[in-house]
Amino acid sequence: MFYVVFELLFWLVVVALPVWIWLDAVAALLAALAYLVVHILIQDWKFTRFQNWLNSTYLQANPPWSGAWLDVATRIQRQFLLAENSTKLHERRLQDFLLAIQASPNGVILLDDEARIDWCNVTAASHLGLDVKKDRLQHIVHLVRDPVFTRYFAQENHPSEVLIDGRSAAVSSLRKLSVQLHKYGDGRLLLLSRDVTEVVKAEAMRRDFVANVSHEIRTPLTVLGGFVETLQSVPLDAEETQKYLQLMSVQSDRMQSLVADLLILSQLEVSQSPNGQDLVNLPDLVDQVMSEANALTTLLAEQQNGNQHALVFDKVPLLCVKGSQKELFSALSNLVSNAIRYTPLGGLVHLTFSQREDQLTISVKDTGPGIPSEHLPRLTERFYRIDQSRSRETGGTGLGLAITKHVMQRHGGELQIQSELGKGSTFNLIFPASRISNQIATPDLQTSA
């Protein structure tokens, strides 16, 4: 500004002084006024040009000016670029922040001061069945129509989270959500959602497990306590005493089997999976299972005064399975013993083998009563029983299939169950090709059982 004033005064002097010297003061004054008018018109034109330049969408990088106007334009351009870069930086940070929230496994919803949806990520939309675009600016209570959430939202403070039902495609896959509201800004709310379906299931399984274990142990303990009380208070002859002691022995064996299976499950869950270096000779493994199966069917036939089961074991492939012999024996033995226990005396238990390029399948088929289809998905749960009384009679602990499933998972395989009422059941142990070896294991290579 000082430069412009100085320039104006300088040229006034340059124009007016010679006229004053050559003519007179009035002429000098007229010349100065004429110059001032011309100067004002020129500056107005420059100002208009400068104003148009400012109003343009993009400021010209190098305006063809000189003097103070170029200096002002350059400074404005610099400030404009700084502001533009700062805006782009903030926008980029905001986008990165929103992308990070989008990638979060938890749902995030931003609510305005009237509890309307201002923004939400895809996870929250999936949890609560929202449409990211259509539901924007809708009141959250109008969209999340859960009585628990409505009561929770109406509270003055929200110090803890609550559980509500999430949106699911089917009733069988109903999700449980943990949601919590947090205040921020000027009356705004942050709604966080978290899928806790598996946590709720795990907690339910833990409660069921504790209840089932307590029940399974309490039953034989009650029987043992009753027998002990009888022996202590009632005079019995030798034959009756022996009968009671035999019944007590049965209950004791039942508790020992239960504890043993629980220990096996615990070890399977905390220990490392078997490596692929140990080779288990499949024919030897099947021989051990066959020996145990023959002993079991003989015992059941004697106890129930009936015919033994027909045990048919197909020819065993000369293969080795990479893994733990103890675990594999437990898995296969559980399937065969279950088939014998749940198949009526005189029925058939058939062990078959099927090998393809990508897998080996060991199948245990029986001619038992079969299993209703609604029970098949839960058979491998701990203590899950289709018929409680029938399971008690067979002496099972309810953990055999759970153990088998864990063993197969640790060996990279899977347990498949097929059954039809009145036509028996088939239990398949499927091993991937990576767990099968054509090398015949010698005693030195086998893992001790």
Helix residue spans in 305-380 (DSSP H): 325-342
Looking at the structure, tell me whether residues 346 and 235 fall in a common domain. no
Among the candidates 195, 226, 241, a domain finishes at: 195
pLDDT recorded at residue 449? 34
pTM for this model (two decimals): 0.56
Of the listed ranges 270-274, 280-284, 342-346, the one predicted with least confidence:
270-274
Whether 297 and 446 map to the same domain: the answer is yes
pLDDT at 445: 39
Residues 317 and 422 in one domain: yes
332-365 pLDDT, tens digit per residue, is 999 999 999 889 999 999 999 998 888 899 999 9
Indicate whether 58 belongs to any domain. Answer: no
Q: Is residue 347 part of a domain?
A: yes
Q: pLDDT of 383-437, one tens digit each?
A: 777 765 544 555 566 788 989 999 999 999 999 999 988 889 999 999 999 899 8
Residue 341 located in a structural domain: yes
pLDDT at 48 over 90: no
pLDDT at 203: 84
Higher pLDDT, 408 or 52: 408
The pLDDT of residue 391:
47
Higher pLDDT, 153 or 203: 153
Q: Are residues 113 and 190 in the same domain?
A: yes
Instruction: State residue 78's pLDDT score.
Output: 82
pLDDT-wise least confident of 74-83, 148-157, 419-428: 74-83
Which pair of structure tokens corresponds to residue 178? Answer: 């943990």
Q: Residue 19 has what pLDDT?
A: 58
Same domain? For 180 and 257 the reply is no
Residue spans of beta strands (DSSP E) within 216-299: 279-281
Tokens 């990479």: give the residue: 322
d(CA 265, CA 255): 15
| Residue 64 clears pLDDT 70, i.e. is over it | no
Provide the number of structural domains found in the chain. Answer: 4
pLDDT at residue 299, as a whole number? 85
Same domain, 250 and 324: no
The predicted pLDDT at position 447 comes to 38
Q: Which long-range contacts (CB under 8 A, 24 or more apart) does 64-72 make?
A: 67/3, 67/7, 68/3, 68/4
The tokens of 21 are what? 């010297």
Query: Does any domain span residue 61?
Result: no
Neighbouring-strand partners of residue 192: 108, 180
Residue 156: phi and psi, rounded to 5, are -70, -45
Are 411 and 342 found together in one domain?
yes
Q: Are 76 and 222 within one domain? A: no
- 308 and 417 housed in the same domain: yes
Q: What is the CATH number of the domain that holds 173?
A: 3.30.450.20
Q: Which amino acid is at 284?
A: D
Domain CATH number, residue 367: 3.30.565.10
- Please name the residues in contact with 422: beta carbons below 8 A apart, sequence gap of 6 or more: 369, 370
Question: Confidence band (pLDDT; 50, 70, 90) for 20?
Answer: low
- With a pLDDT cut of 70, the percent of the chain lying above it is 84
Q: Region 36-49: what's the mean pLDDT?
A: 77
Residues 407 and 448 in one domain: yes
With 70 as the cut, is the pLDDT of residue 367 above it? Answer: yes
Is the domain of 211 the same as that of 334?
no
- Summarised one tens digit per residue, pLDDT across range 307-326 is 899 999 999 999 999 999 99
If asked whether residues 212 and 134 sit together in one domain, one would say no
Inter-residue contact 307 to 352 (CB < 8 Å): no
The DSSP element (H or E) to which 354 belongs, if any, is: strand 348-355
Q: Write out the DSSP string of 102-149.
A: HT-SSEEEEE-TTSBEEEE-HHHHHHHT--TTTTTT-BHHHH---HHH
- Neighbour-count burial of 399, counting CB atoms closer than 10 A to its CB (0-12 exposed, 13-18 middle, 19+ buried): buried
Share of the chain above pLDDT 90, in %: 33
Q: Is the pLDDT assigned to residue 218 strictly greater than 70?
A: yes
Strand order in the sheet with 279-281: 279-281, 320-322, 436-437
Give the mean model confidence (pLDDT) for residues 75-83. 82
Q: Which of 229, 244, 271 corresponds to the end of one domain?
A: 271
* Cα–Cα separations (whole angstroms), residue 30 to 11, 292, 437: 14, 130, 115
Domain contains 239: yes
Task: Among 146, 165, 195, give the residue marking a domain's end.
Answer: 195
Range of the domain at 77: 2-53+69-98
- Is-contact 368 344, C-beta < 8 A? yes
Return the pLDDT at 336: 94
